[in-house]
Amino acid sequence: MCILGSSGSGKTTLLDAMSGRLRRTGTFLGEVYVNGRTLRREQFQDCFSYVLQSDTLLSSLTVRETLRYTALLAIRRGNPGFFQQKVEAIMAELSLSHVADRLIGNYNLGGISTGERRRVSIAAQLLQDPMDLTSVDTQSKEREIETYKRVQMIESAYKKSAICHKTLENIERTKHLKTLPMVPFKTKDSPGVFSKLGVLLRRVTRNLVRNKLAVMMRLLQNLTMGLFLLFFVLRVQNNVLNGAIQDRVGLLYMFVGSTPYTGMLNAVNLFPVLRAVSDQESQDGVYQKWQMLLAYVLHVLPFSVIATMIFSSVCYWTLGLHPEVARFGYFSAALLAPHLIGEFLTLVLLGIIQNPNIVNSVVALLSIAGVLIGSGFVRNIQEMPIPFKIISYFTFQKYCSEILLVNEFYGLNFTCGSSNVSVMTNPMCAFTQGIQFIEETSPGATSRFTMNFLILYSFIPALVILGIVVFKIRDHLISR
């Protein structure tokens, strides 16, 4: 079957209606019969599929892996041999066996050809066991004028043909048969929520691990920023006149301000392609968008922990921060949270805003505002106007800054040049102990150390839950 028409004539809308992608909008006229049986509107998606004009695939997976993960998401029953046999059969049918172990690739990194990518997309639809109707939307601008001139001629000729009359007679005859064949619905025995989540997690992780540049970016971004600080500060001192307090405050400011931004860069670069894949596959009913989001969140955790530990191990000891091992652990834990929060906040915004560049700007502005208002390093929170003081309690930077401040300054003793220098001579000599600076900057922060950790880490599940809600809403809005 071939659907012809000029741009905007409704070809894709017709295919969306037939395949069940139009879940709520639109008024349907007419009836749909399969093997003489009437289909209800909510049954369309369980019976029909079609391949979109653009191929949305993960570039770092092979053809075989791509189809195997699709089968695991769509079909519950069967042992590993069953899935392998089904995938091999589909690849043989669509002449993909010779590229089974080649990466999908993309326009920049090579991979399989455009025609082979299209056949992979068709194979992914066929693995969901639809009817043999698998239409491909291939309208292009170059064909529009010719199509528009010929479509009416073809339509008129077909309606007058014997084939058309015979087809309509067969349809009417089938509708009145006493015994009608069953409707070939897609498999209803799909995996459970946790099984799909496990498959998505393995797929996302493998796609990332194959991308060496993405892995290096994940693991070394924080360290690259840390190396700049190392060469700039070299090593902190305990002499107030030589910048003992100033250098430490500047370092803490940079730590709190930069770690959310590196998390944001990861999400902006890596998640949009997964979002596009989930938008397409969720419309086919393979899984829901929030499941892809949660799989991404879970795969982020080990990489973020490793990246933070690499950064902390190099920077903490080289800069000469507080020499206790326990303090190093608190320091690492305090920086892991804003790194994750920055990435998860970006995921939430990517569920609302389509353009990653806009999300980049929004998260950067929020991070800067949070450090200015919440950290207390730029201006003492107690001296801020009341509205800003209230807002500071909703910034994760406030709790992270207080943790780092107490972790570094508590128990420190400072010198102030020679023994003859007094407070009268140099006001900077007023701080001889770290606890004095803590109470001046964030009064009571020492007693809130544990509570600050709990509040800081509560931002992470809160953003994950918010992200799930946002992507559920996105699923509702995108499915017309």
pLDDT tens track of the chain, all 480 residues?
A: 677 666 667 777 777 777 666 665 666 777 777 766 777 766 666 666 666 666 788 888 999 999 999 888 887 666 778 888 888 988 988 888 898 899 898 766 678 888 888 888 888 877 776 544 444 554 454 555 565 556 667 777 777 788 888 887 777 777 666 666 665 555 556 678 888 999 999 999 999 998 888 899 899 888 888 888 888 888 888 888 888 888 999 999 999 999 999 999 999 999 999 999 988 888 777 888 999 999 999 999 999 999 999 999 999 999 999 989 999 999 999 999 999 999 999 999 999 999 999 999 999 999 999 999 998 888 888 888 999 999 999 999 999 999 999 999 999 988 887 655 554 456 667 788 889 999 988 999 999 999 999 999 999 999 999 999 999 888 777 665
| pLDDT recorded at residue 133 | 43
Q: Tokens for 281, please give them.
A: 């596959």
Distance, in Å, from the CA atom of 342 to the CA atom of 222, rounded to the nearest integer, reads 13
Q: Which residue has the tokens 């939307």?
A: 137
Distance, in Å, from the CA atom of 444 to the CA atom of 402, rounded to the nearest integer, reads 10
| pLDDT recorded at residue 304 | 95
Which residues, in sequence order, are CB contacts of 114 under 8 Å at separation 6+? none
Q: How far apart are the first and last CA of the chain?
A: 25
Bridge partners, residue 415, by sequence: 239
The CATH number of the domain covering residues in 11-176: 3.40.50.300
Interaxial angle between packed helices 244-283 and 449-478, expressed in degrees from 0 to 180 and rounded to the nearest 10? 30
Spell out the domain ranges in the chain: 11-176, 193-479
Which residues, in sequence order, are CB contacts of 218 under 8 Å at separation 6+? 208, 266, 303, 304, 307
Cα angle for residues 196, 197, 198 (degrees, 5° grid): 90
Bridge partners, residue 136, by sequence: 51
Distance, in Å, from the CA atom of 278 to the CA atom of 56, rounded to the nearest integer, reads 9
State the pTM of this model: 0.81
Of 33, 343, 336, whose CA–CA distance to 170 is shortest? 33
Asked whether 279 and 184 are in contact (CB, 8 A), the reply is: no
